[in-house]
Amino acid sequence: MSKDHKLKTECLNFSELLAQNIALISPTMTAALIVPLMFATVGNISWLAYGLGTLLLLFVAFNLNQFSKRFTGTGSMYTYTSMALGPTTGSLCGWCLIWSYLFIGLAGTTGFTIFSSKLLEAVGIHAPPLLLFAICIGSCFILAYKDIVISTIVMLVLEGVSCSFILLLCLIVLGKHGFAIDTAQFDFKDASITSLGLGVVVAIFSLVGFESSTAFGEEAKNPLKTIPKSIVWSLILTGGFFIFVAYTEILGTRGYSQPLNAIDSPLTVLATIYKVPILAIPLELGAMVSFYALALSCLNAGSRVMFAMGRHGIFHPAMRNAHPTNGTPHIALGVLAVLMFAVVAIFKVVAGYAVLDEFGYAGTMGAFGFMGSYILITIAAPIYLKKIGQLKPRDVTLCIAGLLLLAIPAVGSVYPVPPSPLNYFPYIFLGYVAIGVVRALAFKAREPHSLVKIREELRDLHLPSGFAMEQEKA
């Protein structure tokens, strides 16, 4: 790897890595828009679905941390999967991740547009969605291009402010009820395994992105400790937040003129019901900046995956360029930013989708990419451990448990068959995966010597000293 292509090293501490993960999970997104969907699916036990979803992804995190606590580098699960399953399969994992960061970034962009439009309309200003798309993506690119430390600090502050307002509102709601236990949310007589399973699917889609700090291995301080720690803590903190907020929103809206599943702005409604309208504007402002942080985090993480794949020749060599002064992957950032704007603009102008519909569709599409990469990394973990002579029975158990649990959202995405156009999304994603498979096989046939070099580089850069990695065909 050329010295001209290095990112800024050892500049991100634990709190900044945690901010990257939490910003991509976007707790505000769930509190502002997803809890009503969860309530429509599961009803009063929505909190339990979030708890089970968090537990499921902790199994994925344990498998992922088999890699993150042993070696580090740029490229997230693309690099990890390449270590265990070879560069060909690894490139497919990277292909899935780019899809994920692209579409989840669009969920952030459209969410920003929804709430910024509300705030602007409150003062009599109407801004076209395309302008707000451009402002969001353009300013995110500038921050990400300029300095990774600045952009992660911005994400930390924005998400922290937003969650603080939400927690304040929740405490006010609970206080009005005397902090009494809502026994209706612990009554399981009307619950069903089918509805709870679908609720877990919603919960997992709310939590994807917890692993994004793995893309910053070269930029993290003490990465073998801070990255695994950030993965687990981001899941624990956001999972606990979702349980608490879902419980409070269900309690707070009981008896309201509309059921929770019919409310499109539950936080604003709660502020009105409990006579704290002064919080309405801060809550909407918090939601806007949280979605902005989501778009920024996806741009940061996705560009690192593209940078790593460019460095290995899987993408155009220009992708491997880092800015000589800023130490950021500016070419990959620019390409991803252009793709984000192009896709969101086409769906708005050509397909004619409403911005709220774009938000929902983008989030669903992005979740499929994460599911694909989570499955690959879970399979890769025990294979990697066997290669370095550290495989234990509990590691195989974690792998099997993780795969069985991941089957819940995978099956739940296609059965029962969702309404149109959601029923087409899994097949669109599978078409994208097929393109990735063709690209990977073409690269293998065209550049067999490059695959050997990739294996050698990954071994030399990332494997701990003293471990010998068995060479295998890609």
Tens digit of each residue's pLDDT (9 = 90 or more) over 346-395: 999 999 999 989 998 998 899 899 999 999 999 999 999 998 899 999 99
pLDDT of 408: 83
The overall longest dimension of the chain from CA atoms, in Å, is 69
- Check residue 465 and give its pLDDT: 38
431: phi > 0 → left, psi -120 to 50 → alpha, else beta; which? alpha
Alpha-carbon span 121 to 357, nearest angstrom = 20
Distance CA 362, CA 33 (A): 14
Using the Cα atoms of residue 252, residue 258, residue 263 and residue 269 in order, give the sign of their dihedral.
negative
pLDDT band of residue 415 (cuts 50, 70, 90) is confident
Query: For residue range 55-77, what is the model confidence (pLDDT) as tens digits?
Result: 989 999 999 999 999 888 778 79
| 245 closest CA partner among 457, 34, 461, 436 | 34
pTM over 0.85: yes
CA–CA dist 14, 18 (Å, integer): 6
Q: What is the pLDDT of residues 289-344, one digit of tens each?
A: 989 999 999 999 999 999 999 999 999 999 999 999 999 999 999 999 999 999 99
Phi, psi (rounded to 5 degrees) for 7: -85, 165
Cα gap 59→400, rounded to integer Å: 10
pLDDT of residue 464: 46
Going by C-alpha positions, the residue among 43, 82, 110 that lies closest to residue 294 is 110
Percent of the chain having pLDDT more than 90?
72
The letter for the amino acid at 372 is G
The pLDDT confidence band at residue 158, using thresholds 50, 70 and 90, is confident
d(CA 75, CA 394): 27
Mean confidence (pLDDT) of the chain? 90
Helices (H), ranges, 69-215: 77-85, 87-122, 129-146, 148-176, 193-207
Helical (H) or strand (E) element with 433 = helix 425-446
Report all structural domains of the chain as residue ranges with CATH numbers, in order of start: 3-462 (1.20.1740.10)
| Mean pLDDT to the nearest integer, 405-414 | 83
User: pLDDT value at position 5?
Assistant: 57
Per the structure block, which two tokens stand in for 329? 């992957």
CA 267, chain centre distance (Å): 23
Q: Give pLDDT tens digits for 222-266.
A: 999 999 999 999 999 999 999 999 999 999 999 999 999 999 889
Question: Is the pLDDT score of 201 beyond 90?
Answer: no
The letter for the amino acid at 246 is: A
User: For position 401, what pLDDT does the model report?
Assistant: 92
Contact predicate 219/10, CB 8 Å: yes
The residue among 373, 65, 443 whose CA lies nearest residue 223 is 65
| Mean pLDDT for the stretch of residues 26-44 | 92
pLDDT bracket for residue 212 (50, 70, 90): very high
The reported pLDDT for the residue numbered 461 is: 56
